[in-house]
Amino acid sequence: MSVEAVVFDYGGVLTTPVRHSIAAWLAADGIEPASFSRTLKAWLSRTSQDGTPIHRLETGELSVAEFDALLAAELTTVHGGPVDPVGVLDRLFAGMGPDPAMFKLVEDLLDRGIRVGLLSNSWGNSYPREQIDGLFDPVVISGEVGLRKPLAPIYQLVLKRLGLSAPSADRVLFVDDAEPNVLGARAVGMQALLHTDAATTRASIAALIPDLALSPQE
């Protein structure tokens, strides 16, 4: 099946693993890991009808400061004390940085005439806009459009901005590190790939775009 465009998630796909940054934050702040895991599981629930704090943060309904306060209130330190609510998300993402191998993959795709886009659920974290705006078209960030993965409308918006209709969705490959988001893309007819690491993702895309196998050691 031909691929005309590849759309990437940002955090955890184009960056170093988010889990590594979270682990460093938990250790540095002395947060009880179980309290974070419990809260994350509840707030990532896909069955919530009213929208959890994570859902509302991703769509821009909740500010970062409001989310920080709500999250801190659910957490405890290893000594049983409260967590400082100021700058929680900044500290959570402090250890996350761009993955050079993935940005090389993006550049190689562009060199081969493949369009690349970005689709990200924002947690209020900053994006290197000068870098991504120069590479990706479209750039769709959940908090800016009021939509979120894995719901269909945000994938449909990406397709529209690519200039493709639903019948052509299978010409777009979506890459994400969260399985529900991969399944959401497939539900609207896109091809989708679960990202684990740069080498595996490159190999999987090269199976669809053979010339890509020439990189990065050309």
Q: What are the sequence ranges of the domains in the chain?
A: 5-16+97-214, 18-92
Cis, peptide link before residue 53, omega less than 30° from 0: no
Distances (CA, A) of 158 to 73, 107, 155: 35, 20, 5
CB 59 within 8 A of CB 142: yes
In this predicted model, what pLDDT tens digit does every residue of 38-79 receive, in sequence order? 999 999 876 555 689 999 999 999 999 999 999 999 999 999
Model's pTM, two decimal places? 0.92
Q: Are 89 and 122 in contact (CB under 8 A)?
A: no
Q: Does 192 score more than 90 pLDDT?
A: yes
Rounded to 5 degrees, what are φ and ψ at 95?
-90, 10
Domain spanning 5-16+97-214: which superfamily? HAD superfamily/HAD-like (3.40.50.1000)
Measured CA to CA, the distance from residue 206 to residue 192 in angstroms comes to 14
Q: What percent of the chain has pLDDT over 70?
A: 94
Residues in a beta bridge with 194: 176
Phi first, then psi: what are they for 120, rounded to 5°?
A: -135, 135
What is the pLDDT confidence band of residue 116, given thresholds at 50, 70 and 90? very high
pLDDT computed for residue 124 by the predictor: 84
